[in-house]
Amino acid sequence: MHVDFLVEESSAEVALEALVPRILGNEIAFSCRVFQGKHDLLSKLQARLRGYADRIRNTGEDLRIVVLIDNDDQDCEVLKAELEQMARRARLWTRGQAQGRNVRVLNRIAIEELEAWFLGDPTALTTAFPRVPSSYVARARFRDPDAIRGGTWEALLRLLQERGYYRTGLPKIEVASKIATHMNIGSNRSSSFNAFCVGLAAFVA
* pLDDT tens-place string over residues 183-200: 999 999 999 999 999 999
Note whether 19 and 185 are within 8 A (CB): yes
Sequence ranges of the domains in the chain: 2-112+189-204, 115-180
Reported as type and span, the H/E element at residue 107 is strand 105-110
Residue 13: is its pLDDT beyond 80? yes
Query: Can you tell me whether residue 70 is helix, strand or coil?
Result: strand
Nearest 5 degrees, angle CA 181-CA 177-CA 62?
80
Confidence of residue 73 (pLDDT cuts 50, 70, 90): confident
pLDDT above 70: percentage of residues in the chain: 100
Q: What is the pLDDT of residue 92?
A: 95
Is pTM, for the whole model, over 0.75? yes
Chain Cα centroid distance, residue 89: 23
Fold adopted by 2-112+189-204: Rossmann fold (3.40.50)
d(CA 141, CA 136) in angstroms, rounded, equals 9
The pLDDT tens digits of the residues spanning 132-151 come to 999 999 999 999 999 998 88
Residue 98: is its pLDDT beyond 80? no
Note whether 80 and 121 are within 8 A (CB): no
Amino acid, res. 26? N
Phi-psi region of 151 (alpha: psi -120 to 50; beta: other; left: phi over 0): left
